[in-house]
Amino acid sequence: MPTVPSHWFAVFTPSTWGNFISIGSSQLGFGERSVKKLKNVRVGDIFIAYISSAKKIGGVYRVTGEFTRDGIQVWKTAQFPFCLPVQKVFEFDLDAAPEFLSLASTQSWFNRLPNKKYWSFVFRNPPRLLKSNDGLEMVEAISNLSIISDGNE
């Protein structure tokens, strides 16, 4: 029986997002503190790209291989030595990317927050594993937006 993929958030700054796009959106980069979490990522898992200071969702990516420690060759800085190969499922230009808050209601953790002003704390210490329903709902919402942005309504 096929394994149901897990869903994760990957976090970018506009600068690291630009670097990710420049390498063909093919390798997610992570720091040293991410190793334990990366050991739980499997081929076929889904990553949702969150661009922090822009507060936008950049796209959705499927994991295509195991993580490696060769990121220094891919990323312009040495702070992301662990790389995870991915394939683009949906991707937005930064200017057209949806605001995270427009999709936040799909997330059970967001709806349970007593004080919504602290919502961005969930994006600290990536990658961040999502509950299955949250991941599925977020990807469905992004898929619907992607269809609209492509003009394929």
Written as one string, the DSSP assignment of 9-69 is: EEEE-HHHHHHHHHTTS-EEEE-GGGHHHHTT--TT-EEEEEETTTTEEEEEEEE-S--BS
Phi, psi torsion values for 33, nearest 5 degrees: -70, -5
CB 107 within 8 A of CB 120: no
What would the CATH number be for the domain defined by 7-149? 3.10.590.10
SS3 call for 146: helix
pLDDT tens-digit readout, 63-103: 999 988 876 555 566 677 888 999 999 999 888 888 988 88
In tens digits, the chain (153 residues) has pLDDT values of: 567 899 999 988 888 888 889 889 999 988 888 889 999 999 999 999 999 889 999 999 999 999 888 765 555 666 778 889 999 999 998 888 889 888 888 888 888 878 777 677 676 777 889 888 888 998 998 888 765 444 443
Global confidence as pTM? 0.86
**CB neighbours of residue 52 within 10 Å:** 17
SS3 5: coil
Q: So where are the chain's domains?
A: 7-149
